[in-house]
Amino acid sequence: MNLTFGDIEETALIPLAIKASESERQSPRIIDKKAKEIIDALGVDVSKYDPFLSHEGVISRTIMFRDKLNELIKEYPDALYINLGCGFDDKFSQVDNGKITWFDVDLPDQIEKRKKVYTDRDRCKMLGGSALDGKWTKNLPQNDMTIVVMEGVLEYFQKEQVKTCLNMLCDSFKHGYLLAELHSPLLEKYGSKHHDAVKYTNATFGWGTKSAEEYLPLEPRMSVISEQSYNDEMKKYSLRGKIFAIVGKNFNNRLAVFRW
Ligand SMILES: C[S@@+](CC[C@H](N)C(=O)[O-])C[C@H]1O[C@@H](n2cnc3c(N)ncnc32)[C@H](O)[C@@H]1O
C-alpha cells in the first residue's frame, strides 16, 4: 500500500483512526480491518484524532448506520446501494449479504486515492462523482429503488449545497432512501473551533438543523421516515456517554432516514 499521510484528508482520518483503534480493543464494538490496515500503513501517530467524544460518536454512528442499512437490505435486497462521499469507509464489508449491488462514490481525486487501498469487488465498485452534480448517476445500472448513505458528508455543506444534493438524488433516482448524518446549529456555530477532533483540521461545519423536517422545504419529494440522535447509542456504553446524552441532548449528531 503506497498511501501517504497527505493522501488522506484530515476529516476522513478521524473515522479511520477511531475505527482502527476500536478494532484493537479487547472487546471491540465494531471491527474494521481496512481502517486498521490503512492506519498501520500510514505509520504515524493519529491519537489526536481519537478523543473520547468523537470516538464514541463515530462508533455509535457506525453501529446505527449499519443496523439501519441491514433493515433496508432485508426489505430491499435487490436495490442499488450507494455510499456517497465514501472516503476510505468500508461499509460494504459490514453489511454485505452476498447479494447486494453497491457503489462507493466520492470526488474523482478521492476515488484515485481510494484505489491505492481498495480494488473493485464483484458487487462493490468505485466511481468518481460529486454529490452536487448527477452526471455520474448515468453510469449506474437502472433500478427502481436506490439506497444512498451519506455519513459525515452533508455536515460540511452549506444550505444551498444540501438543496442541490437532495434535488440531484430525487432527479436521478426514481425511488429511494437517504441515510444521512445531520448536525445541530450549535455545531455549525461553534463546532469547527471546538469539536474535540475536527478542531485539528481545516474543515468548517456547514448548515446545521434542529430537525430533519427542516430539509423538506428544500426537496418536497422527500419525507422523513426516522431521526435518531447518536446519544441513543452512545449512552449505552459509559457513564460519560450517559452524562453527555443529558448535557449534550441537542448537540449530538443524528441519523436521519428520508424517503422519496
Ligand atoms: C469526513 S469524510 C467521510 C468519509 C466517509 N463517509 C466516512 O464516514 O468515513 C467526507 C467525505 O466527503 C467527500 N466529499 C466532499 N464533498 C463531496 C462531494 N461534493 N461529493 C462527493 N463526496 C464529497 C470527501 O471527499 C470525503 O471523502
What integer is the mean pLDDT of 149-170? 97
Alpha-carbon span 75 to 87, nearest angstrom? 27
Q: Which has the higher per-residue pLDDT, 259 or 43?
A: 259
Q: For the packed helices 239-247 and 52-75, what is the interaxial angle rounded to 10 degrees? A: 80
Question: Distance of CA 191 to CAs 97, 185, 230, Å?
Answer: 37, 9, 16
Tell me the helix, strand and coil percentages in the chain, rounded to 5: 45, 20, 35
Q: Are 35 and 176 in contact (CB under 8 A)?
A: no
pLDDT band at 3 (very low <50, low <70, confident <90, very high): confident
For ligand 1, atom 12, which residue shows the shortest CA distance? 85
Cell for 110? 478521492
Q: Please give the pLDDT value at position 194.
A: 66
Which one of 95, 107, 207 would you pick to mutate in the ligand 1 pocket, going by the greatest count of ligand atoms within 8 A of its CB? 107
Look up residue 133 and give its DSSP letter: B
Mean pLDDT, range 87-104, rounded to an integer: 96
Q: Which CATH architecture has domain 5-259?
A: 3-Layer(aba) Sandwich (3.40)
Question: Half-sphere exposure of 38 toward its Cβ, with a 13 Å CA cutoff?
Answer: 29
**How much is the average pLDDT of 95-108?**
97
* Residue 189, CB-side half-sphere exposure with 13 Å CA sphere: 6
Which residue's CA is the closest to the ligand 1 atom numbered 26? 87
Q: Which is the closest atom of ligand 1 to the Cα of 149? A: 6
Nearest CA residue ID for atom 22, ligand 1? 85
**Which residues form ligand 1's pocket by a CB distance below 6 Å?**
9, 11-12, 15, 84-87, 89, 106-107, 110, 130-132, 151-153
The torsion defined by the Cα of 137, 141, 147 and 148, in degrees rounded to 10, comes to -30
Ramachandran region, residue 180 (left: φ > 0; alpha: ψ -120 to 50; beta: rest): beta
Q: Locate the ligand 1 atom nearest the alpha carbon of residue 109 and give its number.
A: 25
- Name the phi and psi angles at 238, rounded to 5: -155, 160
Q: Are 198 and 186 in contact (CB under 8 A)?
A: no
Residue whose C-alpha cell reads 446505527 in the numeric block? 64
- The predicted pLDDT at position 137 comes to 98
Tell how far CA 92 is from the center of its chain: 12
Pocket test for ligand 1, best of 30, 153, 183 (most atoms within 8 A of CB): 153
Average pLDDT over residues 117-137: 97
Q: Whose CA is nearest to atom 11 of ligand 1?
A: 85
Whether residue 136 contacts residue 78, with contact meaning beta carbons closer than 8 Å, is answered with no
Which ligand 1 atom lies nearest to the CA of residue 87? 27
Higher pLDDT, 35 or 188: 35
Domain ranges across the chain: 5-259
Condensed to tens digits (0 to 9), the pLDDT of residues 189-222 reads 876 666 776 666 767 889 999 999 999 999 999 9
Closest protein CA for atom 4 of ligand 1: 87
| Distance of alpha carbon 32 from alpha carbon 110, whole angstroms | 20
CA of 239 to the centre of ligand 1 (A): 32
For the chain, strand residue ranges (E) read 80-84, 101-106, 124-128, 145-150, 175-182, 223-229, 254-259
- Give the CA distances from residue 37 to residues 1, 3, 168, in Å, rounded to whole numbers and listed in that order: 9, 11, 34
Overall average pLDDT of the 64-71 stretch: 98
